[in-house]
């Protein structure tokens, strides 16, 4: 009795005699055939050999006979895994990583800005008091001298210490580095906007870059966001408050990231929940359209919400 066996490496023809299996012929698949087998299944392969399907006992014997092909299996699996990983990278991944980077830059900027203010206040504390914005402070300190800033800010007297030139230069060096980090954050925000317009144009149109990208990040992808009901989208970003509600019975949250959307912030407190629900419903529609590459509808849905609220 002849037995036909197929795996990812090739096809084999065995003959059973007196309860023993013997390999009588084989054919190794081409690269194209292997790719078709992976993507389309075994029916896509034109078999050379014909025979019976192996039983479970016969299959154990076949695998023992083909144990020398283990390295070929490993090489193919390694190559195929690398291919799958390479092809799995999408704009979703780029958005998620960029959002993470922007958040990291925000934390670093805040930490270093605090350090810069404390350090510069040893030299001229009045300047820090006059310029509240961290980005503006780092920019001013990095490009203008103490005397220039005193003149602009109308500071006539300082209680700062008289530092050596080399000490002041170190402070200015930090100010320039902080300014560069703020510039880098702006550049990444612009890049994120480009990604959103390309990958999720309707979500971008209705909620903007940061809210839209954070929704995608928490969902995991545009596909995952499109599968979520509007009620879940409404609460993305409010997990802490939701768990507190479940655990202690406190008031349930009405909104997550979308609380910062103008439609939600622009209505009276009593209507915020209603506005958040309506917005989440439109986001859900936009995510579905983006995933299935439908026609642009974000602007239309946004106008509907603006008329309603």
In tens, the pLDDT along 30-70 reads 888 888 887 887 777 778 888 888 999 898 888 888 888 88
Nearest C-alpha neighbor of 189 from the set 208, 175, 164, 206:
208
174 near 102, Cβ under 8 Å? no
Query: What is the pLDDT, as a whole number, of residue 42?
Result: 76
- Please work out, in degrees rounded to the nearest 5, the angle formed at the alpha carbon of residue 102 by the alpha carbons of 223 and 95: 20
Highest mean pLDDT among 13-22, 235-244, 290-299: 290-299
Confidence of residue 245 (pLDDT cuts 50, 70, 90): low
180 near 139, Cβ under 8 Å? no
| Alpha helices per DSSP H over the chain | 31-40, 56-65, 70-88, 91-121, 125-130, 134-143, 146-152, 165-199, 201-207, 209-219, 222-227, 230-235, 239-248, 262-265, 272-291, 298-308
Segment 109-134 shows an average pLDDT of: 95
Q: What percent of the chain has pLDDT over 70?
A: 99
pLDDT at 110 over 90: yes
250 near 244, Cβ under 8 Å? yes
Segment 61-90 shows an average pLDDT of: 83
Among 34-48, 109-123, 229-243, 255-269, which is the least confidently predicted range? Answer: 34-48
Nearest C-alpha neighbor of 264 from the set 276, 253, 252:
276
Give 200-308's CATH code, choosing from 3.30.1330.20, 3.90.100.10, 1.10.246.90, 1.20.1260.10.
1.10.246.90
Query: What is the pLDDT, as a whole number, of residue 150?
Result: 93
Segment 15-24 shows an average pLDDT of: 88
Confidence of residue 221 (pLDDT cuts 50, 70, 90): very high
Chain-wide mean pLDDT for the chain? 91
What are the residue boundaries of the structural domains of the chain, listed by start? 2-88, 91-193, 200-308
pLDDT at 92 over 70: yes
Confidence of residue 242 (pLDDT cuts 50, 70, 90): low
Phi, psi of 29, deg, nearest 5: -70, 150
64 near 21, Cβ under 8 Å? no
pLDDT at 218 over 90: yes
- C-alpha 190/C-alpha 231 separation (Å) is 30
Whether domain 91-193 has CATH 1.10.287.4070: the reply is yes
96 near 224, Cβ under 8 Å? no
Query: What is the pLDDT, as a whole number, of residue 295?
Result: 92
Query: What is the pLDDT, as a whole number, of residue 31?
Result: 83
Residue-wise pLDDT tens digits, 131-186: 999 999 999 999 999 999 999 999 988 898 989 999 999 999 999 999 999 999 99
Q: What percent of the chain has pLDDT over 90?
A: 60
Query: What is the pLDDT, as a whole number, of residue 289?
Result: 97
Integer CA distances (angstroms), 226 to 50, 133, 245, 257, 299, in order = 46, 38, 26, 17, 18
- C-alpha 150/C-alpha 155 separation (Å) is 5
Residues in CB range of 153: below 8 A, 6 or more apart = 126, 127, 130, 131
Asked if the domains at 91-193 and 200-308 fall in one CATH topology, the answer is no
């Amino acid at each position: 009795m002849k037995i036909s066996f197929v795996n990812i490496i090739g096809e084999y023809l065995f003959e059973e005699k007196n309860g023993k299996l013997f390999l009588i012929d084989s054919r190794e698949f081409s690269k194209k055939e292997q790719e078709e087998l992976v993507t389309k299944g075994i029916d896509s392969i034109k078999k050379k050999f014909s025979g019976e399907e192996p039983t479970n006992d016969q299959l154990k014997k076949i695998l023992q006979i083909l144990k020398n092909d283990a390295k070929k299996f490993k090489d193919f699996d390694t190559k195929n895994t690398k291919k799958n990983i390479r092809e799995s990278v999408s704009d979703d991944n780029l958005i998620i990583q960029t959002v993470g980077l922007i958040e990291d830059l925000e934390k670093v900027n805040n930490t270093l800005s605090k350090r810069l203010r404390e350090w510069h206040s040893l030299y001229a504390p009045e300047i820090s008091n006059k310029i509240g914005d961290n980005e503006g402070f780092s920019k001013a300190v990095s490009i203008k001298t103490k005397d220039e800033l005193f003149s602009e800010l109308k500071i006539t007297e300082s209680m700062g210490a008289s530092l050596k030139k080399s000490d002041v230069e170190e402070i200015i060096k930090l100010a320039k580095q902080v300014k560069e980090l703020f510039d880098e954050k702006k550049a990444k925000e612009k890049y994120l906007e480009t990604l959103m317009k390309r990958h999720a144009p309707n979500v971008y149109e209705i909620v903007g870059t940061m809210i839209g990208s954070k929704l995608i990040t928490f969902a995991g992808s545009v596909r995952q966001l499109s599968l979520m009901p509007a009620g879940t989208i409404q609460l993305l970003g409010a997990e802490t408050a939701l768990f507190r509600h479940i655990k202690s019975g406190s008031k349930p949250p009405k909104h997550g990231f979308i609380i910062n959307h103008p439609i939600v912030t622009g209505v009276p407190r009593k209507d915020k929940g209603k506005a958040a629900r309506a917005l989440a419903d439109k986001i859900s529609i936009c995510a579905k359209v983006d995933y299935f590459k439908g026609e642009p509808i974000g602007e239309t849905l946004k106008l509907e919400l603006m008329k309603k609220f």
